Amino acid sequence: MDPRAGTPAQPQDLIDVDAVVGAYYDLHPDPDDPAQKVVFGTSGHRGSSLDSAFNEDHIVAITQAIIEYRRSQGTDGPLYIGRDTHALSLPAWESALQVLAAAGVEVRVDARDSWTPTPAVSHAILTANGATTVDGVRTSGPGLADGIVVTPSHNPPRDGGFKYNPPHGGPAGSEATSWIADRANEILRTGVGQVKRVPLSVAVSVPSTQKHDFLTAYVDDLQNVIDVDAIREAGVRIGADPLGGASVEYWGEIGERYGLDLTVVNPTVDPAWSFMTLDWDGKIRMDCSSPYAMASLRHRMEPAADGTTPYDIATGNDADSDRHGIVTPDAGLMNPNHYLAVAISYLYGTGDDGARRPGWPSSAAVGKTLVSSALIDRVVAGLGRKLVEVPVGFKWFVPGLLDGSVAFGGEESAGGSFLRLDGRVWTTDKDGIILALLASEILAKTGRTPSQHHADLVERYGESWYARVDAPASLEEKATLAKLSPDQVTATTLAGEDITAKLTNAPGNDAAIGGLKVTTENAWFAARPSGTENVYKIYAESFVSAEHLEQVQAEAKDVVSDALGGAE
- pLDDT one-digit tens code per residue, 331-364: 999 999 999 999 999 999 998 888 999 999 999 9
DSSP state letter for 301 = T
Domains present along the chain, CATH in parentheses: 14-216 (3.40.120.10), 465-567 (3.30.310.50)
Interior CA angle at 464 toward 461 and 465, to 5°? 175
DSSP letters for 220-285: HHGGGTS-HHHHHHHT-EEEEE-TTSTTHHHHHHHHHHHT-EEEES-----TT-TTPBP-TTSS--
The letter for the amino acid at 259 is G
Q: What are the catalytic residues? A: 153
Confidence check: pLDDT of 441 > 70: yes
Looking at the chain, the whole-number percentage of residues with pLDDT higher than 70 is 99
What's the N-to-C CA distance of the chain in angstroms?
34
pLDDT at 472: 87
The mean pLDDT value for 23-28 works out to 98
Task: Label residue 74 left, alpha or beta by phi (over 0 means left) and psi (-120 to 50 means alpha).
Answer: left
d(CA 393, CA 381): 23
DSSP state letter for 352 = T
- Is 241 within 8 Å of 265 (Cβ atoms)? yes
Query: Residue 43: what are its φ and ψ, rounded to 5°?
Result: -135, 45
Burial class (CB in 10 A: 0-12, 13-18, 19+), 307: exposed
pLDDT at 210: 98
- HSE value, Cβ hemisphere, 13 Å, CA-based, for 152: 23
Confidence check: pLDDT of 161 > 60: yes
pLDDT at 14: 98
d(CA 436, CA 325): 7
d(CA 505, CA 15): 41
The mean pLDDT value for 306-311 works out to 92
Q: Which of 227-236, 289-298, 525-534 has the lowest mean pLDDT?
A: 525-534
The mean pLDDT value for 180-198 works out to 97
d(CA 160, CA 535): 23
- Is 218 within 8 Å of 125 (Cβ atoms)? no
Torsion of CA 127, 133, 135, 136, to 10 degrees: 40
Number of other residues whose CB lies within 10 A of the CB of residue 369: 26
Torsion of CA 232, 238, 242, 244, to 10 degrees: 120
The mean pLDDT value for 428-453 works out to 98
The mean pLDDT value for 56-68 works out to 98
pLDDT at 90: 98
pLDDT at 566: 62
SS3 217: helix
d(CA 16, CA 157): 10
- Is 262 within 8 Å of 102 (Cβ atoms)? no
d(CA 425, CA 57): 36
> To the nearest whole number, what is the mean pLDDT of the chain?
95
Confidence check: pLDDT of 466 > 90: yes
The mean pLDDT value for 128-144 works out to 83
Higher per-residue pLDDT: 561 or 66: 66
The mean pLDDT value for 541-561 works out to 95
The mean pLDDT value for 506-522 works out to 94
- The pTM of the full predicted model, rounded to 2 decimals, is 0.95
Helix residue ranges per DSSP H, 265-373: 295-300, 336-347
The model's confidence at residue 567, banded by pLDDT at 50, 70 and 90, is low
pLDDT at 470: 86
pLDDT at 532: 62
The mean pLDDT value for 234-262 works out to 98
- Is 36 within 8 Å of 29 (Cβ atoms)? yes
